[in-house]
Amino acid sequence: MVGLTPLSAGFSLPFVPGIGGVEVTVLFPLVTFLLILAFGRYLPFKGAYLGIVSTGVGFLVAVATVIQLATGAGIRHETLHTLVAGVEGAGVTLTFGVLIDPLSALMLTIVGLISLLVHVFSLGYMNAEGEIDLPRYYAALSLFTFSMMAFVISDNLLMSFVFFELVGLCSYLLIGFWYRKPGPASAAKKAFLVTRFGDYFFLIGVVAVLGTFGTAQFAGTESFVTMAETALESGDASGINTFGFGAQTWFTVIGLLVLGGAVGKSAQFPLHTWLPDAMEGPTPVSALIHAATMVAAGVYLIARMYGFYALSPTALSVIALVGGFTAFFAATMALVKQELKQVLAYSTISQYGYMMLALGGGGYLAAVFHLTTHAIFKALLFLGAGAIIISMHHEENMWEMGGLKDELRTTYLAFLAGSLALAGIFPFAGFWSKDEVLYETLIHALGGGSPVLFVAYALGLLAVIMTAFYTFRMVLLTFHGEPRTDAAEDPHAVSLSMKVPLVVLGVLSVVAGLLNMAVLKSVLPKDALLLERWLNGETVGGEFAEGALTAEHYHHVLTSEYGAGYTAGYGGLGEGTLALVGGVVALVLAVIPALVAWRLYGGADPDPHMTNLGSLRTLLMNNYYQDEYQVWLARGVTLPVATLANKFDQGLLDGIVDGSGGVSLFAGGRFQRLQSGVVTTYVALLALGLLVLLLVFAVTGGWL
Amino acid sequence: MAVAPGWYLLLSAAVFCIGLFGVLVRRNALIFLMSVELMINAANINLVAFSLVYGNITGQTFVLFLTALAAAEVAVGVGIILVVNRNFDSIDITDAVTMRW
């Protein structure tokens, strides 16, 4: 009965009044991590069951939290530990605390669910395949879940940063799980270093926030978000230290610094290069990283402090442009990839680009919605890919597959549901969320926002076309046509532990869009937009509204004079109609390339049409030489600079230190010759010294 | 008929210089020790002289202490010379140089 203790503790929780103690959700994976680390070898299935139980209980607690929040319990915002207490509003206050509000409760549920399913899936993917070192795998998975959950419930930026880094460490451990092979080892290093590069800016941002506001709290009247808003609204920035800049300029700088961390973790251009390489890790890990944890952390961070970003039109424009460009850029590369997981990797980058686009375009709701649906369908696609790879005896090249749909019925249906969601086909989850992303960007662009929003929107629309194409190309090449190899002829059966997560996620991919059917807002009653009501805090107490964390409040800041100054414009169509038109356009743009893909790759034995692309294909296959140019940056620029700095350090700085030591040693060596051991010499020296002293006195005293 | 203090100082300086000369040029440890005694006594002469000139007993009291000190020093010094003699088979102070760097 391993894991009984967390189980019983977990079941007692929903009876705790209010939503106190929800943070224990986070502790289950932490305790599991320690247990597996210590006793993993002796646990059944090398710790898999313990992990399943603990993430399962964690998931249940998260669901209970959501239910409690939905039924009127207030949010929980409490400082648990004060590291450094500022005095009387001066100085810096550093705390650790929890913030359970609709956003974090939603994310907690997603993380719990995906983590649970990944654990279950791992039974089939890792244990059944006889992998070695499994305790290390499950321990890292638990630590990963813990870090992400703790990141999600952080109530201040510093704590977020700490767990942000821990998430990065866990991804390093898991991507490099098969560290004896050179590929995973170097991919893990790359993931760590590239995201660290972004985190460096995040760290400076944290320090800037603390230096400016003296606090890094997300919520409450004393939060830095509220302080910034008050300063801009009243035009009086006297309470805060803006280091001589204009308040809004300085907030933009801080926002962009923190954005650096999000760009690294959420794999936005130009720091996206680590993500495709991260496919070297075990496939369930890819599902966890790309759906719910590491990559989601960046977007979640921006959403968490969206009240701050809503104050700066410049920062929002940058986010929108980076997001839109990434969505487009990554989608083009996904068009020509041959490996199943590579297609999914670039689609992940592209989809997170959409979320950034939504955040920059003023669509907080849309971003959170897309984060939710994407977590579901991308986890599904990765787990589906994992099932395919296992059944194909670890073959990842889609040209070696084909015709799998009859043999792998369940996998096919689930994978298809995920693909339709990814491509944004009505009525699957992705359609609703992706459309809302585009819609929000469009109305704010039409409302006279910066022209950058139009560019970002256009890039987003282009990405819709490509997404549909590469998704269906992937599905057709994998499942349709005739089997192209012996392995595809006779694939492994997919075990039950792999089928269950696929089915759960498959069903969710179909229905998750019901959360917020904003496209149909003209025909639906207002109450039907569940996610909007949820994030507006309509179900929770008044404390939430005061905390300025509601989507409504963000919208208010976004459209205010002192904030970003966004206005919504509908191009003369009216809100509901424009939403409908946008939805139809996006659907058409998704269906046409899907049909083209069907035409090109739907036959019994499809041709590799991408060879017709010529040099463009070479460019795309090489990922626009992004890796090459980054390696060139490292070797050609950073290395010489570092060498120079090293020379300076070794030569000049160390030279001064070493030199003073050397001179002392040399001088000491010479002076020690005076110490002859002959007493007479000493006396002579003494007498001489006395004489000299007398002479000095004589001269200065005026006797001579 | 009191002697002028300058004469005492001259005597003292002369005795001191003799002592210093002995210390600088002689190699026999015993002579060396005696020369040191001369220098101490030069200081004593100064003390007694000033004590007399100023009519203050303090200087003379110090001379008593210094005499005791000199006696003790001789005891230690002669002891060291005996050990040096045992180790180096001579009491030439330029021989006992093994403890330098």
- pLDDT reading at A16 higher than 50: no
**pLDDT value at residue A255:** 92
Contact B27 A680 (CB under 8 A): yes
Note whether A232 and A562 are within 8 A (CB). yes
Contact A677 B96 (CB under 8 A): yes
**pLDDT value at residue A88:** 64
Distance (Å, rounded) from C-alpha B89 to C-alpha B95?
Answer: 10
Reading the block at residue A237, the tokens are 């920035």
**pLDDT value at residue A542:** 60
Nearest-Cα distance to chain B for A669, in Å, is 10
Nearest CA in chain B to A687: B20
Nearest CA in chain B to A680: B24
Q: Computed from CA positions of residues A100, A106, A109, A110, in that sequence, does the dihedral angle turn out positive or negative?
A: negative
Reading the block at residue A334, the tokens are 């996904």
Residues of chain A above pLDDT 90, percent: 20
Q: What is the tens place of the pLDDT at every residue in A398-436? A: 888 877 888 888 888 999 999 999 988 888 888 888 888
Note whether A289 and A171 are within 8 A (CB). yes
Question: Is the CB of A691 inside 8 Å of chain B's CB atoms?
Answer: no
- pLDDT reading at A359 higher than 80: yes
- pLDDT reading at B59 higher than 50: yes
Mutate to test the interface with A, among B17, B24, B84 (most CBs of A within 10 A): B24
Q: How many other C-beta atoms lie within 10 A of the C-beta of residue B78?
A: 13
**pLDDT value at residue A21:** 62
Q: What is the tens place of the pLDDT at every residue in A45-95? A: 777 888 888 888 888 888 888 888 887 777 778 888 888 776 666 678 888
Note whether B101 and B60 are within 8 A (CB). no
Mutate to test the interface with B, among A665, A671, A680 (most CBs of B within 10 A): A680
- pLDDT reading at A12 higher than 50: no
As a whole number, mean pLDDT of residues A637-658 equals 90
| CB < 8 Å to B20, chain A | 683, 687
Contact A675 B101 (CB under 8 A): yes
Q: Computed from CA positions of residues A514, A515, A520, A522, in that sequence, does the dihedral angle turn out positive or negative?
A: positive
Residue A97 phi, psi dihedral angles, 5° rounding: -160, 180
* R_g of chain B computed on alpha carbons: 17
Nearest CA in chain A to B36: A683
Of A179-183, A550-554, B3-7, B72-76, give the lowest mean pLDDT range: A550-554
Question: Is the CB of A683 inside 8 Å of chain B's CB atoms?
Answer: yes
Instruction: Give the single-character DSSP code of A605.
Output: S
Distance (Å, rounded) from C-alpha A703 to C-alpha A693?
Answer: 13
Nearest-Cα distance to chain A for B18, in Å, is 13
As a whole number, mean pLDDT of residues A317-321 equals 91
Contact B94 A680 (CB under 8 A): yes
As a whole number, mean pLDDT of residues A462-466 equals 90
* R_g of chain A computed on alpha carbons: 30
As a whole number, mean pLDDT of residues A277-287 equals 88
Closest CA to A518 of A300, A327, A369: A369
> Which residues make beta-bridge pairs with A100?
A76
The angle that helices A551-559 and A364-391 make with each other, rounded to 10 degrees, is 120
Distance (Å, rounded) from C-alpha A68 to C-alpha A48?
Answer: 30
On average, the pLDDT of chain A sits at 84
Distance (Å, rounded) from C-alpha A317 to C-alpha A144?
Answer: 32
Closest CA to A350 of A214, A241, A465: A465
- pLDDT reading at A18 higher than 60: no
Domain layout of chain B by residue ranges:
5-88
**pLDDT value at residue A521:** 75
Question: Is the CB of A642 inside 8 Å of chain B's CB atoms?
Answer: no
- pLDDT reading at A493 higher than 90: no
CB pairs under 8 A between A and B: 27
Tell me which residue in A676, A683, A684 faces B97 most closely, judged by beta carbons: A676
| CB < 8 Å to B32, chain A | 679
Tell me which residue in B20, B25, B94 faces A678 most closely, judged by beta carbons: B94
As a whole number, mean pLDDT of residues A284-302 equals 89
**pLDDT value at residue A90:** 67
Nearest-Cα distance to chain A for B53, in Å, is 25
Mutate to test the interface with B, among A674, A683, A686, A691 (most CBs of B within 10 A): A683
Distance (Å, rounded) from C-alpha A240 to C-alpha A229?
Answer: 12
Torsion angle in degrees (nearest 10) through CA of A575, A580, A583, A584: -140
Confidence of residue A527 (pLDDT cuts 50, 70, 90): confident
**pLDDT value at residue A212:** 86
Contact B93 A672 (CB under 8 A): no
Helix, strand or coil, per DSSP, at residue A273: coil
Determine the topology of domain B5-88 in CATH.
Helix Hairpins (1.10.287)
- Whether ipTM > 0.90 holds is no
Closest CA to A362 of A315, A404, A300: A315
Confidence of residue A523 (pLDDT cuts 50, 70, 90): confident
Nearest-Cα distance to chain B for A687, in Å, is 8
| CB < 8 Å to A677, chain B | 96-100
Nearest-Cα distance to chain B for A684, in Å, is 6
Q: Which residue has the higher pLDDT, A116 or A398?
A: A116
As a whole number, mean pLDDT of residues A433-451 equals 84
Distance (Å, rounded) from C-alpha A461 to C-alpha A445?
Answer: 14
Confidence of residue B12 (pLDDT cuts 50, 70, 90): very high
Tell me which residue in A676, A677, A684 faces B24 most closely, judged by beta carbons: A684
| CB < 8 Å to B93, chain A | 678-680
